[in-house]
Amino acid sequence: MDLQETILIVEDEYGPRESLRMILKPFYDVYTVSNGQDAINLVQKQDISLVTLDLNMPGLSGIDTLKEIKKIKPEIEVVIITALATNGQDSFRVGASDFITKPFDATEVTTVIRKFIEHRNASLKYKNVISKLKDPHHL
């Protein structure tokens, strides 16, 4: 049996956070937090495959949260979900994989998430093969 991928939803508003949780829960293990600091704490403790991240949050901004997540675990895919498309585009410079604008559509969310989970898994497999090839004891 395949290990189920783990998604972290970072959203300060209850409605969008719960909507995302309900959309993704049938396919993934899902954690939800309402702020950037809680997201960083969870990323340090749990094996997270992908983060959905709101940019406009009180306290630690979405961009600062994104930067910290990428410092801790660069392999985590981060999909921005925001009402302001221009902010989402700015997030690519600091490591976001994609962005979805609010209000979001369930089909778009599942399609984008699936695409980046597959991308992450392919990348991890590739890195594993390369490290085995570089290991002189493997041959």
Domain boundaries, the chain: 6-134
**57-103 per-position pLDDT tens digit:** 989 999 999 999 999 999 899 999 988 766 656 777 788 888 888 89
Q: Is the pLDDT of residue 18 over 50?
A: yes
Measured between alpha carbons, how far is 26 from 103 in angstroms, rounded to an integer?
21
Q: What is the CATH number of domain 6-134?
A: 3.40.50.2300
Is pLDDT of 130 > 90? Answer: no
User: Mean pLDDT across the chain, nearest whole number?
Assistant: 88
The two beta strands, 50-53 and 6-10, are: parallel
pLDDT > 90: what percent of the chain?
60
Query: 55 is written with which tokens?
Result: 């940019």
> What's the average model confidence in pLDDT over 116-134?
84
Q: What is the pTM of this model?
A: 0.86
pLDDT at 128: 82
